[in-house]
């Protein structure tokens, strides 16, 4: 079967802040540069999760958007998303999206928002906003992004974090962790957008997504000179400014 990548963009119009749409552009381009055709499907409010999504992306959003989206995901929709990840689909979720992949997010002065429990994690709005550049030591090497959140995420005992914070605050500014991983789903607080300047993670997501239907995938290497320069400059800025 000819290889093609289908990306499901969750709540594209409602949850897309701090450049998060750049992640979808990077995923699309990095597949197309290898001759792999890509479909991007927006999955909005009231729309079911299509059965043929290889890779989900879910960006950040403010608390009010999260409330509407949390309600939309309850029941069959959230269960279908969880089943897709259990079946090997890949996913990147950032900030507000990441928080709703846990058990719940408790905003300031509002009822807790239910998550889908993909990650054994709980997020609670804290007194301060964490804003700034972040460097995370991870299995993909140093990852760099920009955080802007008041939510503090605590991972359950068995949850693998995306990595450990070298610079910045991360999940909660307390335990040194940032993000979470479950199978091929990665959640984090790294806006920016993350993937254009972290190509190793971008390619890991593309390869895992393709493998679900096509078996082992060995992506050809790309030159990535611009990506490497952007990564180095962002890491330097992060280390110098925090
Ligand atoms: N609830 C999130 C927070 O912790 C929303 C922010 C975001 O998605 N950047 O502030």
Active site residue 231: no
Q: What percent of the chain has pLDDT over 70?
A: 100
Q: 95 C-alpha vs ligand 1 centroid, how far in Å?
A: 6
Go through the chain and tell me how many residues it has: 242
- CB of 96 closer than 6 angstroms to any ligand 1 atom: yes
Average pLDDT of the chain to the nearest whole number: 96
The runs of H, that is alpha helices, within 16-95 are 21-32, 63-73, 76-86
Per-residue pLDDT, 1: 64
Tell me the mean pLDDT in the region 203-216: 96
Atom of ligand 1 nearest to the CA of 60: 8
User: What are the two backbone dihedrals, phi and then psi, of residue 175, each rounded to the nearest 5 degrees?
Assistant: -100, 5
Active site residue 191: yes
Considering the entire predicted model, what is its pTM? 0.97
What is the separation, in whole angstroms, between the first and last Cα of the chain? 49
CB 155 within 8 A of CB 121: yes
CB 142 within 8 A of CB 235: yes
Q: Burial level of 217, CB count in 10 A (0-12/13-18/19+)?
A: middle
CA–CA distances in Å: residue 80 to residues 6, 50, 75, 131: 16, 9, 9, 33
What token pair was written down for 162? 């995306």
pLDDT at residue 64 is higher than 90 = no
Range of the domain at 138: 5-240
- CB of 61 closer than 6 angstroms to any ligand 1 atom: yes
Atom of ligand 1 nearest to the CA of 129: 10
Residue nearest to atom 10 of ligand 1 (CA): 149
Note the pLDDT tens digit of each residue in 66-75.
Answer: 999 999 999 9
CB atoms within 10 A of CB 204: 17
Note the pLDDT tens digit of each residue in 32-44.
Answer: 999 999 999 999 9
CATH code at position 222:
3.40.50.880
What token pair was written down for 81? 């998303």
Q: 138 C-alpha vs ligand 1 centroid, how far in Å?
A: 22
* Domains held by the chain: number: 1
Residue 42 DSSP code: E
What token pair was written down for 62? 């403010």
Rounded distance between C-alpha atoms, residue 43 and residue 172, angstroms: 29
Sign of CA dihedral 107, 112, 117, 122: positive
């Amino acid at each position: 079967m000819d290889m093609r990548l289908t990306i499901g963009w969750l709540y594209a119009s409602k949850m897309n802040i701090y450049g998060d749409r750049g992640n979808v552009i990077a995923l699309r381009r990095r597949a197309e540069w290898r001759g792999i055709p890509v479909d991007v499907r927006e999955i909005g409010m009231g729309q079911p999760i299509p059965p043929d999504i290889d890779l989900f992306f879910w960006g950040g959003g403010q608390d009010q958007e999260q409330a509407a989206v949390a309600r939309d995901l309850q029941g069959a929709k959230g269960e279908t998303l969880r089943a897709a990840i259990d079946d090997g689909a890949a996913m990147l979720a950032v900030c507000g999206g990441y928080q709703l992949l846990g058990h719940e997010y408790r905003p300031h002065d509002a009822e807790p928002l239910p998550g889908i429990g993909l990650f054994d994690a709980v997020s609670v709005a804290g007194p301060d906003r964490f804003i700034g550049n972040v460097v995370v030591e991870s299995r993909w090497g140093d990852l760099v992004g920009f955080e802007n959140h008041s939510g503090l995420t605590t991972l359950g005992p068995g949850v693998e974090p995306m990595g450990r914070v070298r610079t910045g605050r991360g999940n909660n500014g307390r335990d040194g962790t940032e993000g979470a991983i479950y199978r091929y789903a990665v959640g984090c607080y790294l806006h920016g957008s993350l993937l254009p300047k972290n190509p190793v993670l971008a390619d890991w997501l593309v390869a895992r997504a393709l493998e679900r239907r096509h078996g082992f995938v060995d992506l050809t290497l790309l030159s990535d000179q611009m990506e490497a320069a952007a990564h180095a400059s962002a890491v330097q800025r992060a280390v110098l400014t925090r």
